[in-house]
Amino acid sequence: EVYYQFEDEAEAPAAEAATETSAPAPAAAAAASAPVAAAPASAAAAKSSTSRLFMFPTAPHTEVTEKGDIVYKEVMRENVCKLKAYVEEMASGDTIAVPMNVQKIQEDVLKLWNVMKTQPEISEEQKNRIKALYEDINVASVATDKVPLLHLERKVGMSWEYSSNLTSVYLDTLHEIATSGTTFKDKDALLTGVGKGFNWRRDLERPSFRRRATVAYYQGIFQRCGSKGCALTVVPFNQGSKQDVEALVDYIYSTLSLDLDYIHPFAAVPENDRKIDGPHDKSELAHRIMLVNLLRLLGVVKNKKASRHFVTRPTQVILPLLPNHGLFGNDGLYSESKILLETIFNRCNSES
């Protein structure tokens, strides 16, 4: 169970505060239509509201049944009942072996051997001893360093390396949030594709019912978690439509007069049973939603900021990445869409 508690003296927002507003109409390709919540947090609050996350931290647990089925579930962490204790456990660290480049060592020793064997003053016995050193190279145990279980890495060249500085800042921030709370005053966030139980087929068949249910769903969350002065705007949005992407951002910046601090683009389309020999129109649509138009969304936001000369208010984007790079299979272009999102990290430095 996870919930937020806002610590201020203000009463909870009224139920009618979360209402459906006029918005750009979805394009004809409504199969991928998903609700969007543009939520400026505490923009008009007289004072900063502080939120604390109360939760029972869980740990991943996987079992293999007698039938061979893999069952995954979350279990309670032993002796960890608060977020603060969880952060401390993650910061405690574990020993991680430093990788050894055995191939490079073999090459270096081979170079040494080639030089030594050409020297006449070296006896045959010495040559054999040196050769034995080269032939007997194996992966040996090396000293280990203690790295926090929850840590950050920095990309160096084509690989990622552990960064103690970034990890220290990250863990300090988590500890501060766990103990003192945090605030989202004067922050604007855009969330896409986060409707409860979103089903694109049902959305096509019963759009009016779906819209009412979505608004009611967000309204309930707003009543429980909203703070004084915050506002929630729910609008229909088809992330598969170029027209909708442009209209949505224009609606946020021109009509609502907001400037986005956060973007959470969660819109996705599952692609089960899509093998490499059976590409489908749905796979192309999913690729457009999860990659092409996500990049387009970020580009439109960038243009809005540039046209308004916003140079000191960057937008933080939480990319929905996935470690599955085709390992599961039968998922169409899903993994390709996720892999290509990783190029955005390089674009931050390579593009102006």
What are the tokens at 127?
């040559």
* Torsion, CA 334, CA 335, CA 338, CA 340, rounded to 10: -110
Closest to 190 (Cα-Cα) out of 248, 242, 270, 255? 248
Domain locations in the chain as residue ranges: 7-49+185-345, 50-59+73-95+144-182, 99-135
* pLDDT surpasses 70 at 249: yes
Interval 207-238: pLDDT, tens:
455 677 778 888 888 888 888 888 888 888 88
**pLDDT for 28:** 28
**pLDDT for 308:** 93
Which residues lie across from 235 on neighbouring strands?
36
Name all contacts of 165-172 with Cβ < 8 Å and 24+ positions apart: 171/87, 171/90, 171/91
28-32, 83-87, 152-156, 163-167: lowest mean pLDDT where? Answer: 28-32
Which residues lie across from 237 on neighbouring strands?
34
179-183, 193-197, 251-255, 320-324: lowest mean pLDDT where? Answer: 193-197
For 7-49+185-345, CATH number out of 3.30.565.10, 3.40.50.720, 3.90.1150.10, 1.20.1250.20 equals 3.40.50.720
pLDDT above 90 coverage of the chain, percent:
19
Q: What is the pLDDT averaged over residues 184-188?
A: 88
Average pLDDT value for the chain = 74
Those residues with Cβ within 8 angstroms of residue 22's Cβ, 6 or more apart along the chain or in another chain: none
Q: What is the pLDDT averaged over residues 90-118?
A: 70
Higher confidence at residue 255 or residue 43? 255
pLDDT above 70 coverage of the chain, percent:
68
Helix (H) or strand (E) holding 97: strand 94-97
* pLDDT surpasses 80 at 181: yes
**pLDDT for 73:** 92
- Rounded to 5°, the CA angle 58-63-64 comes to 165
Separation between Cα atoms, residue 187 and residue 59, nearest integer Å: 31
What are the tokens at 160?
């990622």
Closest to 188 (Cα-Cα) out of 295, 11, 44, 311? 44
Closest to 4 (Cα-Cα) out of 230, 181, 173? 181
Backbone angles phi and psi of 96, in degrees to 5: -125, 125
Helix (H) or strand (E) holding 62: strand 58-64
Interval 57-101: pLDDT, tens:
888 999 999 998 999 999 988 888 888 888 888 888 766 555 556
Separation between Cα atoms, residue 131 and residue 117, nearest integer Å: 9
**pLDDT for 234:** 85
**pLDDT for 134:** 58
Higher confidence at residue 246 or residue 197? 246
Higher confidence at residue 233 or residue 5? 233
Q: Is 336 helix (H, G, I), strand (E, B) or coil?
A: helix
Q: Is 306 helix (H, G, I), strand (E, B) or coil?
A: helix
Interval 20-67: pLDDT, tens:
433 333 332 222 334 444 444 433 333 456 776 666 788 899 999 999
Cβ-count burial of 97 within 10 angstroms (0-12 exposed, 13-18 middle, 19+ buried)? exposed
Most confident range, picked from 157-161, 274-278, 297-301: 297-301
Closest to 346 (Cα-Cα) out of 162, 189, 160, 165? 160
* pLDDT surpasses 70 at 139: no
42-51, 96-105, 132-141, 251-260: lowest mean pLDDT where? Answer: 42-51
* pLDDT surpasses 80 at 194: no
Those residues with Cβ within 8 angstroms of residue 298's Cβ, 6 or more apart along the chain or in another chain: 263, 315, 317, 344
Separation between Cα atoms, residue 147 and residue 48, nearest integer Å: 36
Q: Tell me the pLDDT band of 189, cut-offs 50, 70 and 90.
A: very high
Closest to 36 (Cα-Cα) out of 263, 341, 269? 263
- The number of angstroms, rounded, from the C-alpha of 91 to the middle of its chain's C-alpha atoms is 21
